Structure 1
Amino acid sequence: MVAQLETPILSSPCRVPYTVEGLLQVFTGSHRSFFTNVMAQALRIAGQGTPVLVVQFLKGGIGQGHEHPVRLGQNLDWIRCDLPRCIDTPQLDEAETKSLRDLWDYTKEVVKAGSYDLVVLDELSLAIKFGVISETEVLELLEQRPRHLDIILTGPEMPKAILDEADQITQIRRSHRP
């Protein structure tokens, strides 16, 4: 993660403020155990005063939805689907699909608006695999995002086209030692 740097505006007309271009990071692996690392990074960045959004697409169970984000500290908003359960299969009913689509539409709006400097899209690859969000939509969002915005995508089996766009790929794997 690169901290966003901004030069102060000086009285000289030849000096222009700039920001560091945002990174696209992907955390992937065959098992789902890397969210703790991603969340620690999000908390660290938020603690430095940077606005952060964490979106968990397949987690439910707390009746939250994007209308009721959990605020951790002053700078970290955390949202989940407004679902009674966590999604673990592609068999979704109409209400579950609608809730996931509503969360995706909200996420696209805030990303394009530049409301945050870091956005974490947790288990996005599974939402793609389950057919709720299309790979094309994700690629369009990545292309249209504000240039300063850092995005972290997580999930197993991340599509190759998205991996090809990533600045950094962290593949978590288990090691077996005798």
Structure 2
Amino acid sequence: MNKKLKRGFIQIYTGNGKGKTTAAIGQAVRAAGAGLKSYILQLMKEFPYSELESLKKLSDLITIEQVGNDKFVYKKEKPSNAEIEKVKHSLNKVKEKMLSGQYDIIILDEICVSIYFGLVTTKDVLFLIDQKPPNIELILTGRYCPEELIEKADLVTEMTEIKHYYQKGISTRKGIES
């Protein structure tokens, strides 16, 4: 039986340190333990990250979808119109899911980075926030969080990199960073 939240807040995990996505997914896993349902939209992450496999085991309580890639970032190009349209369409889909009453938690993973790279606008996300029902928890992640979103949030955590093994040439490890 799905237990509804009495009151939902807006959380943001931002900053240049590791752990933003991990924190958001951890929140969804914790919520699943309480019978709450989460919808996670991962933007700019069309890659088989390990969390996709583990979350399949909780698929009755956690739905995760990936939209868009980040190839344009590495090529130092602007995103294509097709990528922009995919992300904008996915935000409309998120709004429908948020208003459906089917989910308790909505997670927009890398939404702040998506704003930074021009896939969506701050105004688009503020509009979505304004549509949030009072009993829905909304979690936004990503570097470069606009001040306007921080002002709207109830909880903001900034992950700050103090030291990282990437600086020693260690690359991404399956199950840890991907």
TM-score, length of structure 1 as denominator length: 0.75
Shift in Å at residue 42 of structure 1?
0.8
Name stretches of at least 5 consecutive residues in structure 2 with no aligned partner: 49-54, 164-178
Deviation track 1:95-123 (CA, whole Å, cap 9, x = no partner) reads 32222222122112111223210011101
What residue in structure 2 maps to residue 43 of structure 1?
A: 29
- Please, which of 33, 39, 45 is the counterpart of residue 53 of structure 1? 39
One of 81, 87, 95 as aligned partner of 2:82: 95
Larger RCO, structures 1/2 (Cα 8 Å, 6+ apart): 2
Indicate yes or no: 2:7 matched with 1:21: yes
Which consecutive unaligned segments of at least 5 residues does structure 1 have? Answer: 7-18, 63-69
State the one-letter code of the partner of 1:143: D
Q: Using the alignment, how far apart are the partners of 1:50 and 1:118 within structure 2?
A: 8
- Do the aligned residues in 2 keep the contact of 1:58 with 1:88 (CA within 8 Å)? no
* TM-aligned CA deviation for residue 132 of structure 1: 1.7
Query: How far off is 1:71 after superposition?
Result: 4.7
1:136 Cα deviation (Å)? 1.1
Paired residue for 1:135? Answer: 122
* C-alpha separation in 1, matches of 2:111 and 2:135: 21
Aligned-residue CA RMSD in angstroms?
A: 2.3
Identity %: 26
1:67-107 Cα deviation digits (max 9, x unpaired): xxx754221000101x5x44562622233222222212211
- Match of 2:87, as an amino acid? L
**CA displacement at 1:32 relative to structure 2:** 4.6
Q: Deviations over 1:136-166 (max 9, x none)?
A: 1211211111110001110111110110011
Residue identity opposite 1:79 in structure 2: E
Which residue identity lines up with residue 158 of structure 1 in the other structure? Answer: C
Deviation for aligned residue 1:126: 1.0
Q: Secondary structure at the match of 1:43?
A: helix
TM-score when scaled to structure 2? 0.75
Which sits farther off after the overlay, 49-58 or 99-108? 99-108
Counterpart-to-counterpart distance in 1, 2:135 and 2:18:
28
Give, in angstroms, the shift of residue 34 of structure 1.
Answer: 2.2
**Worse-superposed segment, 151-160 or 125-134:** 125-134
Greater share of residues in helix: 2
Detail structure 1 runs of 4+ shifted over 6 Å in the superposition. Answer: none
Aligned match of 2:112: 125
